[in-house]
Amino acid sequence: MPGGSIITTNLTLSGLVSDSFHTTIGKVVTLDGTAALARSIGQAGIIELTDLPADFNAAISVKVRLDDIRFTNPAGSKTNSATVRTTIRDSSSTFYTEDINVLVNRSLNLEGTERTTSDGSALWTSTQLNDLRLGLEVTAAVPNIGSGVSIDFAYIELKYSTAPPLSYDSTIGKIVMDGGTTIIDQGTIIID
């Protein structure tokens, strides 16, 4: 029996945990031209992310995405860059930290490493994903911060599977389910 579908969706800003950006990190909610702006090294913020979709069954992977990110420095040469440290975490633990380099004077769409586990071996749980947060911090800029680092859209791309479909074998009068979770809130269940 075939399994469920593979779906890719975005977990986006649903709230602010902390914010020291010059122009609030709360602007990273969608790709709309209103960017969060860091004008000095060390400016940082943490955002809460939206919960899992209703059809979520199992996580395949997550990765950080930074769309329309810019390091603006009129004095910078094309080999200069700024570093944005990204952190995938929940309310109590940090799962992954990764530095993403942003080349000077360009609008870029950048992504982090695809993560299939929360700690290198254990699969992501729905509890972890429903409490997921994304941290962003400007940690370096060469030759200097210039006019700053702006981020228009920051989110976590989630690839997940849905539950396999139920099948009903009318010749034996039974429902067959190859995986997933079933909640029955009333009626009689007979297991043979």
**Predicted pLDDT at 2:** 47
Cα 22 to the center of its chain, rounded Å:
23
For the full predicted model, state whether its pTM sits above 0.75.
yes
**Predicted pLDDT at 103:** 94
Nearest of 84, 81, 82 to residue 154 by alpha carbon: 84
Quickly list H helices, 26-172. Answer: 126-130
Q: By the 8 A CB rule, do 79 and 123 touch?
A: no
CA atoms in the 13 A half-sphere facing the CB of 189:
7
Nearest of 87, 99, 78 to residue 143 by alpha carbon: 78
Q: What are phi and psi of 130, to 5 degrees?
A: -75, -15
**Predicted pLDDT at 75:** 82
Query: What stretch of H or E contains 175?
Result: strand 174-176
Single-letter code of the amino acid located at 63 = K
Per-residue pLDDT of the chain (192 residues; tens, 9 = 90+): 346 899 999 999 999 999 999 999 999 999 999 999 999 999 999 999 999 999 999 999 999 999 999 999 988 788 899 999 999 999 999 999 999 999 999 999 999 999 999 988 999 999 999 999 999 999 999 989 999 999 999 999 999 999 877 665 666 666 667 667 777 777 777 666
**Predicted pLDDT at 162:** 93
Q: By the 8 A CB rule, do 146 and 75 touch?
A: yes
What are the distances in angstroms from CA 171 to CA 166, 167, 168, 175, 177? 15, 12, 9, 11, 16
What six digits make up the tokens of 34? Answer: 């209103």
Q: What are phi and psi of 106, to 5 degrees?
A: -140, 150
Fold adopted by 6-164: Jelly Rolls (2.60.120)
